[in-house]
Structure 1
Amino acid sequence: MHDDCPFCEIVAGERSAHVIYEDEDAIAFLDENPAARGHTLVVPRTHREEIVADPEANATALFDAVSTVSSAIEDALDPDGFSVFHTTGSLVGTITHAHVHVVPRVEGDGIGLSLVRDELDEEAGALADALAARC
Structure 2
Amino acid sequence: MNDDCEFCRIVADERAAHVLYENDRTVAFLDENPAVTGHSLVIPRAHEDDVLTIDESTSTAVFETVRTVSSALEGALDPSGFSVFHTTGPLVGTVDHAHVHLVPRFADDDVTLSLPRDRLEADEATRLQNRVRAHL
Normalising to structure 2: TM-score of the pair? Answer: 0.91
Unaligned runs of 5+ in 1: none
**CA distance in 2: counterparts of 1:97 and 1:133, whole angstroms:** 30
Tell me the equivalent position of 1:104: 104
1:5 Cα offset (Å): 0.7
| 8 Å Cα contact 2:87/2:93 also seen in 1 | no
- Identity within the alignment, %: 57
Tell me the equivalent position of 1:91: 91
1:124 Cα offset (Å): 0.5
- 1:56 maps to 2:90: no
Tell me the equivalent position of 1:73: 73
**CA distance in 2: counterparts of 1:10 and 1:60, whole angstroms:** 21
- SS for the counterpart of 1:91 is coil
1:104-133 per-residue CA deviation (whole Å, 9 max, x = no partner) reads 010021111110011112221232233245
**CA distance in 2: counterparts of 1:3 and 1:31, whole angstroms:** 20
Aligned pairs, number: 134
Normalising to structure 1: TM-score of the pair? Answer: 0.92
**CA distance in 1: counterparts of 2:25 and 2:2, whole angstroms:** 16
**CA distance in 2: counterparts of 1:133 and 1:97, whole angstroms:** 30
**CA distance in 1: counterparts of 2:100 and 2:66, whole angstroms:** 8
**CA distance in 1: counterparts of 2:15 and 2:106, whole angstroms:** 31
Tell me the equivalent position of 1:3: 3
**CA distance in 2: counterparts of 1:14 and 1:75, whole angstroms:** 30
Q: Which runs of 4+ in 1 moved over 3 A?
A: 132-135
- 1:20 maps to a residue whose letter is L
1:51 Cα offset (Å): 1.2
**CA distance in 1: counterparts of 2:106 and 2:44, whole angstroms:** 27
**CA distance in 2: counterparts of 1:103 and 1:18, whole angstroms:** 15
